[in-house]
Structure 1
Amino acid sequence: MANAEGEKPLRKIGEAFKDLAAVVNSETLELEVGPFSHACSLVSPLFGCLGIAFKFAELDYVAKVGDLAEVSKSIATLQTLVDRDVESNCVRKAGSHTRNLLRVKRGIDMVRVLFEQIIASEGNSLKGPASTAYAQVFAPYHGWAIRKAVAAGMYALPTKAQLLKRLNEDEATARIEMENYIASSAAVILYVDKLFLSRELGLDW
């Protein structure tokens, strides 16, 4: 999927997550569901740019970000969202907002690892970076069939050059934006993890 001329998806993502990280790092403010879901929605096109290997992730991620965007109309903060599900004893039920939050968190974490691997790797292939990101973040929660399908889809990944063209970036500008996202998303991911761990919900479900 190509972007409209002049659009800079990576810059939009970096700026949105930088704003979220500023809230998290303040240690006095709670992260609001609305800005969080909006920033996460900006990440969705990246999955589309990666092709069939991450189609499952794109569909799942988009649906769950949509749920968080919808619930932001009635629940202000991520903390309140999780606490309400805890009170209702529905945290681990399929479709719960907390479960969806965990899945969205994995999506932004996968992109973080992917960017780290792209920056660290040489050459034009995305197979290594994408395989590492998938293995690290998603694979532990997927059955054999999905892992097999993803492995097959890795051969249809775009090259690094093709990905950057779709994102309207060159190597230098892409690196800056990816580094911005890596730093800011790490703070946001840690914040979400702490929401779960402080309530003894765990992260492996």
Structure 2
Amino acid sequence: MASLSLIVGSFEELAKLLNSRNGRGCKTDLRLDVFCEACSLVSVLFNCLGLAFKFARMEYVTKVQNLVEASKAYDNLHDILDMDIANDTVKAPGSHSRNLRRVRQGLDLVRALFEQFLSTNDYSLKEAASTAYAQVCAPYHSWTVRAAVSAGMYTLPTREQLLLRLNENVIEYIDELFISRNIKLNW
């Protein structure tokens, strides 16, 4: 299971790549495989949110997996968009462009959720998730889906439970660092 620090590190690396310049002074194209690697780590955050985000996690994982498969044929994000534009399939169900948009929406949902969640100590996870969902996903969902998501919000873990789950991931990550270097942990 990926730790929060590993996820943050991956996206910080993506940001550095996006802000770097190639030999011709142009911004660097983001490699599809590198993007997919960072995105695949995010599913652990959906797992920490439990049943309420089960369907979001399932869709997110499926779309990332589609892009992972696409990375075997296409080098960067520009390539998949250009291909779908040339084939007039940008909005077609199952197209790489549409899957990229859905992954982007999943990333934006997680960003908005944690932004809301961390904005104050008094903010409950249910409130943060509801606000994030309303901002990012609700405008694209039918009334039925919005109602199901609203009902699912009552199954979210508490703020303390989520922090405990995330901290356990960080602790496991640190333990793995020590173990991988043959350093005993009982000192």
Deviations along 1:79-111, whole A, 9 cap, x unmatched? 111001100111111000000000000000111
Deviations along 1:140-169, whole A, 9 cap, x unmatched? 010011100110111110011111111226
Structure 2 counterpart of 1:145, which letter? T
Aligned to 2:183: none
Larger mean Cα displacement after TM superposition, 32-41 or 161-170: 161-170
Structure 2 counterpart of 1:18, which letter? E
Larger mean Cα displacement after TM superposition, 91-100 or 52-61: 52-61
Aligned to 1:15: 9
Secondary structure of 2:167's aligned partner: coil
Q: CA deviation at 1:52?
A: 1.7
Q: CA deviation at 1:123?
A: 2.9
Aligned to 1:191: none
- 1:51 matched to 2:50? The reply is yes
- Assess if the C-alpha contact under 8 Å between 2:91 and 2:98 holds in 1: yes
- Supply the distance in 1 between the matched residues of 2:105 and 2:18 (Cα, whole angstroms): 18
Aligned to 1:38: 37
Aligned to 1:95: 94
Structure 1 counterpart of 2:138, which letter? A
- Supply the distance in 1 between the matched residues of 2:164 and 2:129 (Cα, whole angstroms): 18
**Greater relative CO (CA pairs within 8 A, separation 6+):** 1
Deviations along 1:63-94, whole A, 9 cap, x unmatched? 00000011111100001110011001111110
Q: CA deviation at 1:48?
A: 1.5
Structure 1 counterpart of 2:28, which letter? L
TM-score normalized by structure 2?
0.84
Aligned to 1:63: 62
- Supply the distance in 1 between the matched residues of 2:137 and 2:39 (Cα, whole angstroms): 17
Aligned to 1:125: 124
Q: CA deviation at 1:124?
A: 6.6
- Assess if the C-alpha contact under 8 Å between 2:117 and 2:124 holds in 1: no
- Supply the distance in 1 between the matched residues of 2:120 and 2:58 (Cα, whole angstroms): 28
Aligned to 1:179: none
TM-score normalized by structure 1?
0.77
Secondary structure of 1:167's aligned partner: helix
Secondary structure of 2:73's aligned partner: coil
- Assess if the C-alpha contact under 8 Å between 1:124 and 1:159 holds in 2: no
The correspondence of residues 45-194 of structure 1 with structure 2, limited to 5 A, is 45-123=44-122, 125-168=124-167
Larger mean Cα displacement after TM superposition, 113-122 or 139-148: 113-122
Instruction: Give structure 2 stretches of 5+ with no counterpart.
Output: 22-26, 171-187
Secondary structure of 1:114's aligned partner: helix
- Assess if the C-alpha contact under 8 Å between 2:50 and 2:157 holds in 1: yes
Counting aligned pairs with the same residue, the percent is: 52
- Supply the distance in 2 between the matched residues of 1:35 and 1:63 (Cα, whole angstroms): 17
Aligned to 2:19: 25
For the pair shown, which has the larger CA radius of gyration, 1 or 2?
A: 2
Q: CA deviation at 1:9?
A: 1.5
Secondary structure of 1:158's aligned partner: coil
- Supply the distance in 2 between the matched residues of 1:45 and 1:112 (Cα, whole angstroms): 14
